Amino acid sequence: MLTVPPALPNGGVASPALPLPSLSDALIAALPKTDLHVHLDGSLRVSTLIELARERGVALPSQTEEGMNELVFKPSYADLGEYLAGFSWTCAVMQDPEALERIAYEFALDNWSEGVRYVEVRFAPQLHQHAGLDARGVLRAVQAGMDRAQKEVNATLPPGGLPFRYGLIVCALRAFSEQASTYYGQLMRALSKAPRRKVFGLASLELAREAVWARDEAGIPVVGFDLAGQEDGYPAVDHTEAYDYVHTHFMPKTVHAGEAYGAESIFQAITLLHADRIGHGYLLFSPERVTDPKIADKEAYTRRLADFIADRRVTMEVCITSNLQTNPGIGSAKEHALRQMLDHRLSVVLCTDNRLVSHTTVSNEIRVAVDALGVTHRQLRDIVIHGFKRSFYPGTYMEKRAYVRHAIDTYDAVIARFAALEAAEGAR
């Protein structure tokens, strides 16, 4: 759990004359945080994966945490393919309600323990569907785990504490194979004569309908719709019908774009899919990755797109560690596009993407941003508060405003408390 200096007699409100505290690990851990881009199937505990695999007869490359971290969940990866390989093992044990509920429960506790107070966990229900478990069963199982954790941790809150909240984001896939899941295999065989891209779009539309049903009819806190998977060769236009459906039902939207394909992919996500947020967006400032021959001035195109995004406050869900692992060509964190995003005053949030596969936490992502990219106190406050403001909060607008205000007050109180503590220590 978090370690926070004891409250001061004045309630922890430091004098305005006090300097800002150092951005220490303790302060970062104490700050209220969000994670708006994190995949459930990439965020299991290794020990749980091994236990569930043993119980369900899934053969893993190793039966120890050390072995799995050496062979599968590595500190670094050669390419995106190697990064994604681990998901075949995690998804294999996420095929029944009991496993899904347990994984969601532990996921929520892991977020709470590092100071995350609002999380939007995303997953593709169709990866877990089969004859005995439909999309609705998947959603209910994840909800049950998250609800159980939410109730437990909020029962421990001190007076005035910021409660833990969550939302579910369902992921459609740009493309898939018959081997991806039982559901996808059955769909592709049933529509074997249809163009592949048409089948991909139909799967997305079916999921969109289930997402709206879950929110409106079942009371499941589905707060958003997402599109993930390989961008190159699988354009956003294939999924417009699904996104139009959730758009007309007032469901917020995010899209993985600009992770492995250029700025055109981000533009398509915003214009064709009505995206409110962009997952990754790393290649926004890479004119050399613009491939459309009709775009003559690539520099101008990326500059105007960045201005368009900044003006409309389309939020970028940045995952530094994950980007470094899936795009080794970036080099180091110092070369990450977050710096350009901040310089262009984009709305930015820091996220983990996959807590297990990337071996990271929100606190770690903040640490990297501060150390490698020189993120300042002011910028960090903006980033963290954007996480609460640009969330797809599962409540009314007025309820969200109240929660965001509570988060801002909590953030400022933590900063004031650490500033007062450092001043007191310096005076000794």
Please list the active-site residues: 259
How far apart, in whole angstroms, are the C-alpha atoms of residue 227 and residue 126?
Answer: 13
In this structure, the strands spanning 315-318 and 33-39 are unpaired
For residues 325 and 321, give the distance between their C-alpha atoms in angstroms, rounded to a whole number. 6
Closest by CA position to 239, among listed 257, 223, 221: 257
Per-residue b/e over 234-257, b at no fewer than 16 CB within 10 Å? bbbebbbebbebbbeeebbbbbbb
**Contact yes or no for 391/399 (Cβ under 8 A):** no
User: DSSP string covering 111-150, please?
Assistant: HHHTTEEEEEEEE-GGGS-BTTB-HHHHHHHHHHHHHHHH
The span from the CA of 352 to the CA of 227, in Å, is 17
Task: Provide the token pair at 326.
Answer: 């899936």
Is residue 256 within 8 Å of residue 229, measured between CB atoms?
yes
Report the distance separating Cα 305 and Cα 59, nearest Å.
47
**Collapsed DSSP state (helix, strand, coil) of residue 231:** coil
Cα-to-chain-centroid distance, residue 330: 21
The DSSP secondary structure of 235-250, one letter per residue, reads -GGGGHHHHHHHHHTT
- Side-chain half-sphere CA neighbours of 193 within 13 A: 0
- In order of 4, 183, 193, 271, the CA distances from 131 in angstroms are 49, 8, 23, 37
Tell me how crowded residue 315 is: count the other CB atoms within 10 A of its CB.
Answer: 24
DSSP-derived letter for residue 413 is H
